[in-house]
Structures are given as structure tokens and as C-alpha cells.
Amino acid sequence: MPETAPTARRITRIRYARQDPAWVRWGLTLAAVAVVGLLIVVPVVHVFAGALSDGLGAYWKNLFADPDTRHSILLTLTVVPLALVANIVFGLAAAWAIARFRFPGRTVLTALIDLPFSVSPVVAGLMFVLIFGLQGYLGPLLQRHGVKILFATPGLILATAFVTFPFVARELIPVMEAIGEEEEIAAVSLGASGWQMFRRVTVPNIKWGLAYGIILCNARAMGEFGAVYVVSGHIAGQTDTMPLRVEKLFQEYNLPGSFAVASLLTLLAILTLVVKAGLERRVPSERPHVD
Amino acid sequence: MARVNGKVLPGFSLSLGYTVFYLSVLVLLPILACFSKAASLSLGEFWAAVWTERTRAAYALTFGTSLVAATLNVLLGLLVAWVLVRYRFPGRRLMDSLIDLPLALPTAVGGLVYASLYVSKGWLGRYLVPLGIQAAYTRLAIVLVLVFIGLPFVVRTVQPVLEDLDAETEEAAASLGATRWQSFRRVILPPLYPALVTGFALAFARSLGEYGSVVFVSGNMPYKTEIAPVLIVARLEEFAYGEATAIAVVLLVVSFSMLVLINLLERWSEREAAHA
């Protein structure tokens, strides 16, 4: 706005120019609330209503009395941390290489990191079947040495890692680029070793971005379905993770059981959003983004 | 500090080496395996696997529902983003946080709920089914769950652009006598096009590959409600690995094209944003 002493009337007129009439405002707001309510809120409420439909006692029994369900919870709690650690290490390495150095093929590498976002999870799972399955490229060799990857925990970890590896890297690259390299260069020129620089300068600088990437990666890893579905072989009590258990109970018409497991996953999703909102306040420079 | 940063900072070969190694094991080798398996089929076998009446029905369904869902997402996403950016009302911040829920919620959970909401005794189905709206185990069910999955993509691409929109052009339009609707169509909407198209492409790409939620709601009837990823799983369960891979290659090629397209679109959006 130009500084030529705007009169009060002019200010109101200009403010009014960007404002919609009240009926439009109310109508659109109600419509948006209805969209979010019907698409998102009602389903979330329904998960808990479905889980608690037979009362708290039944809910508890559905979760912890069924050995297959119990096992699926334990399996998810085994697979996800391992895939997560692998992806954190990868994310740190990839972000360091991409944000701090210029080299041929850098753009291709960056694009490659986005790949899992557009590959169908089922196709991802299929690729691992083609490598590690009995008719696959490495299957016979592995069998001779008694190593089981497909239809076992290692396959689940691989498939989960594939689907979720972009999250940490994608989060860290812009954060590292925004922070810049001056402090790191200073540390190194003052005689810090690479490891000291990383621990004392890099990690403290990127910690909130890193935390942000980890919780997004974790949420996605816990919920991964398609890729895991293909490589798991659905052996109840052995290779069913929580999302697969939700599907199996649904197929068995055990809806309260299915919703009970789903409610745990929903709680995790809500927790993820709460932590995410908290972290966003700490990483204000960050672009709002889409994963 | 006259030297290039590449020489001052340590860890280049270690980090790049590890990155390339990890990506090769996790991504490149599996993709290679997929294409090499497909290449082991003869052209006739490949064609017979990817072009049957059943696969054609699955492609048409996958594309059709994704297209409809992504279009709806653009309309609903623009509405939600507009209300979140322009209006102040109680619960706005909560609504803003809730938009990300479909990204954080496991797809199996989304599928499970959507499969239960719209059956004739479900919370919403009891009102819709008497009106003749069958949103369980039909194509409509697939569209609905894809709209749920895709909504955040459009909202989150449009929202920042809408926030950064220049107020002065809008005020100028109003002071030159444009009605509110004219300002919206001629002044506000055009700078949003790149973001809307990018959001559409992101939601569309996500919908094409979506599996977890759709298996729950669609009923998976061959020729009617069977999407392409479900068909791949069906072939795998028959141990027809070659045929499954052939269909997977078709989907992979589409995914790669979408990836390239989205990258181009995002660059276009950034350029447009820089202009404004």
C-alpha cells in the first residue's frame, strides 16, 4: 500500500475488497467443515466406536487375549524400528551428500529418492518376490544356505524400508540447505574431526527436522500395507503385521477385533499429527509440504 | 576459505557411496529384477498378460476412479484451502491439523472404516442406501476412499500459494469495479493453476497405486471392481509370476511418467510463484 496518508474510509474499502460477503463466508466455511467432517472426522470417530462397541472389557480382550493379534503387535514393533534405523542412516547420508556437495548425477539421485511415492506398494512387494522368492533370482541360493527372507521378518523389513526410505532424506535435504555450511566449515577448520563436526554441529542443527522426518517415516512404516501384504505370505501368528491383522480379522467377519487393532493404529496417527504440529512450530522456516 | 566446499567438508565419498549402495540394493536391483523378469517373456506372452478383457477392465477402473477422485480432490481441496487461508472461525487450527490425517492414518484403517460406514446399516449408509446411493462394494466406494486419501495433497499444495497471493492486485481489481466473483475468476484463480494441477497430479499418482484401502471397500469383483494392483496380487496368488510382472511393468511405466510429469509441474509452480 502506498504511504500517501490513506483516509479511514479508504482503508475500510480496501479491506472490504478482499472480504467476501457474510453469506459466502458462512456458506463456504460450513461446506469445508462438512467436507472435513464427513471425509475425516466421522471415520476416525467410527474407528473408536467400532472398537468399543462391545465395551471396554471386550476391547481389551480383542487386543491382548488373541495370540495372533498379540503377535502382530510385537511383529510391527520389531519390523518398524529396524526399517526406521536403516532409513535414518540413509537419510543422513543422502542429505549430507546432496545438500553439501555438487556432483554429476545429483539431480537424478534426488529424483530417485522420490520414487517410492509413485510406485504402487504392490509392485514394490512384487519386486522383492522376484528376487527372493523360490522362483526368484536369489531364492534357490538362499534356500540352499537356509536363509529365509521372503514370507519372514527380513522380507517385511525390506519392503517397509523401501516404501518409507524417502521420508527422512526428503525432510533433511531442505533443512540442511537452509542452515548452510558455515558452522560446519568453521568446525573443520578449527581442527574438529569429521565425526566431531557431525556430532557437535550437524546433528544439533538439524535435530528438529530429523525428528520430523522420523515421525512421518514411523507413521508410514507402521501402517504400510500393500508391499508388506505381498511379501508376508499372511501366516497368522508369524508374518502378519498390525495392518495385515486388521485385514485378516475383517475377512473373518470379526469386526470388533479388526476395529480394536485399527484403533491402536489410529491413535498412533493422531499422536503423529500432534507431535508433528509441535515440531512445525520449532521448524518455522519449513515449507508446508506434501509427502 | 578459498577452496571449494567439496574439498573442505569431510564425508563426501562415504555419504555418497552409502547413498548409492542403499539405493542400488533397495531400489535399482528390484526394479532391474522386475524388468528382466518381464523381458524373459516373449512379446506374445507379454501382450497376452497385459491386454486381456480382465486387465483392460482393471486399467479402465484404476484410471477412471483415480481421475474422478483427483478431480473431486481439486474442487474440495480448493474449497478447504480457501476457507483455511481466508476465513477465521473457531476450530480452524484443528481443521488445519486434521487435513494431514489421511497421510498419517494407515491405509488399511481407512479402508476398514470406509467399508463399514457406507453399508446399509452403517453410519452414513443408512441414510444413503434408501436414496439408492450404494457406496459400499461399488465404484463409488473406490472413488470415495481415494478422495479421502488424496485430499491432503491438493490442500497442502494450494494453501501456501493462496497465502502468498498478492493482496494488491485483488484490491486493484475491486477498486476498478470488478465484482467479487470476477476478481476470483480473473485475479485469484490464475496464479493458483500450477498448484492445482500439481495437486491433481500428486493425488492422481497416489490413487493409481493405492491398494490397502481399496481392497477393503471395492469387493474386488473381476471386470467390475477389480483395480490393477489387486489383479497383480491375484496373479501372484496363482503363482503366475510372469503375468503379474507384466502388469506391474505397465504400472511402473505409468508411475515413472507421472514422476517426471510431477517434477516438471513442480518446477512450473515454482517459476510461476517466483513471477508473482
ipTM: 0.91
pLDDT of residue B269: 80
Q: Residue B75: which of B154, B2, B11, B7 has the closest Cα? A: B154
pLDDT of residue B3: 41
Residue of A nearest to B257 (CA): A118
Is A25 among the domain residues?
yes
Q: How far is A27 from chain B (nearest CA, A)?
A: 10
Residue A277 shares a structural domain with residue A215: yes
Find the helix or strand (DSSP H, E) in which B35 lies.
Answer: helix B29-39
Judged by a CB distance cut-off of 8 A, whether residue B124 touches chain A is yes
Interface contact flag, B259 A111, Cβ < 8 Å: yes
Indicate whether A291 pLDDT > 50.
no
Residue A90 shares a structural domain with residue A33: no
Interface contact flag, A94 B232, Cβ < 8 Å: no
A216, B74, B173, B182 alpha-carbon torsion, rounded to 10°: -160
Is A189 among the domain residues?
yes
User: To which residue does cell 532424506 refer?
Assistant: A169
Q: How far is B41 from chain A (nearest CA, A)?
A: 14
Domain B42-275: assigned CATH number: 1.10.3720.10
- With contacts defined as CB-CB under 8 Å, which chain B residues touch A270? 101, 104
- With contacts defined as CB-CB under 8 Å, which chain B residues touch A35? 76, 79-80, 151
Residue A24 shares a structural domain with residue A76: no
Note the pLDDT tens digit of each residue in B91-109. 999 999 999 999 999 999 9
Residue of A nearest to B263 (CA): A111
Judged by a CB distance cut-off of 8 A, whether residue B245 touches chain A is yes
pLDDT of residue A1: 43
Indicate whether B123 pLDDT > 60.
yes
Compute CA B193 distance to the chain's CA centroid, rounded to the nearest angstrom.
17
Task: Indicate the pLDDT class of residue A287, thresholds 50, 70 and 90.
Answer: very low
Are the CB atoms for A215 and B97 separated by under 8 Å? Answer: no
pLDDT of residue A282: 75
Is A290 among the domain residues?
no
Residue A28 shares a structural domain with residue A172: no
Residue A19 shares a structural domain with residue A63: no
User: Which B residues in the span 67-86 are in contact with A, Cβ-Cβ below 8 Å?
Assistant: 76, 79-80, 82-84, 86
Task: Indicate the pLDDT class of residue A286, thresholds 50, 70 and 90.
Answer: very low
Residue A208 shares a structural domain with residue A242: yes
What average pLDDT does range A70-81 have in this prediction?
96
Residues spanned by the domain of A29: 1-51
Residue of B nearest to A180 (CA): B5
Note the pLDDT tens digit of each residue in B186-244. 999 999 999 999 999 999 999 999 999 999 999 899 999 999 999 999 999 999 999 99
- With contacts defined as CB-CB under 8 Å, which chain A residues touch B173? 17
Interface contact flag, B104 A273, Cβ < 8 Å: yes
Interface contact flag, A126 B248, Cβ < 8 Å: yes
Are the CB atoms for B151 and B76 separated by under 8 Å? Answer: yes
pLDDT of residue B258: 87
User: Which A residues in the span 40-99 are in contact with B, Cβ-Cβ below 8 Å?
Assistant: 40-44, 46-47, 50, 86, 89-90, 92-94, 96-98
Of B106, B151, B211, the CB nearest to A39: B151
Claim: this prediction has a pTM higher than 0.95: no
What average pLDDT does range B118-125 have in this prediction?
92
pLDDT of residue A3: 46
Residue A153 shares a structural domain with residue A269: yes
Per-chain mean pLDDT for chain A? 89
User: CA B19 to CA A103: how far, in whole Å?
Assistant: 13
pLDDT of residue B169: 84
Give A200's DSSP letter. I
Interface contact flag, B123 A42, Cβ < 8 Å: yes
Residue A273 shares a structural domain with residue A138: yes
Taking the CB of residue A10, how many other CB atoms lie within 10 A of it? 13
Interface contact flag, B116 A46, Cβ < 8 Å: yes
What average pLDDT does range A77-82 have in this prediction?
97
- With contacts defined as CB-CB under 8 Å, which chain A residues touch B117? 42-43, 46
Interface contact flag, B171 A18, Cβ < 8 Å: yes
Indicate whether A9 pLDDT > 80.
no
Task: Indicate the pLDDT class of residue B170, thresholds 50, 70 and 90.
Answer: confident
Structural domain tally of chain A?
2
Are the CB atoms for B54 and B222 separated by under 8 Å? Answer: yes
Per-chain mean pLDDT for chain B? 91
Compute CA A102 distance to the chain's CA centroid, rounded to the nearest angstrom.
28
Residue of A nearest to B179 (CA): A17
Residue A34 shares a structural domain with residue A174: no
What average pLDDT does range A226-238 have in this prediction?
91
Interface contact flag, A130 B33, Cβ < 8 Å: yes
Of B98, B109, B233, the CB nearest to A246: B109
Indicate whether B1 pLDDT > 80.
no
Which of these ranges, A94-98, A122-126, B178-182, has the smallest mean pLDDT? Answer: B178-182
Domain residue extents for chain B: 42-275
Residue A132 shares a structural domain with residue A211: yes
What average pLDDT does range A162-170 have in this prediction?
94
* Domain CATH for A230: 1.10.3720.10
Residue A95 shares a structural domain with residue A71: yes
User: CA A169 to CA B26: how far, in whole Å?
Assistant: 15
Is A287 among the domain residues?
no
Indicate whether B177 pLDDT > 80.
yes
Interface contact flag, A185 B8, Cβ < 8 Å: yes
pLDDT of residue B276: 59
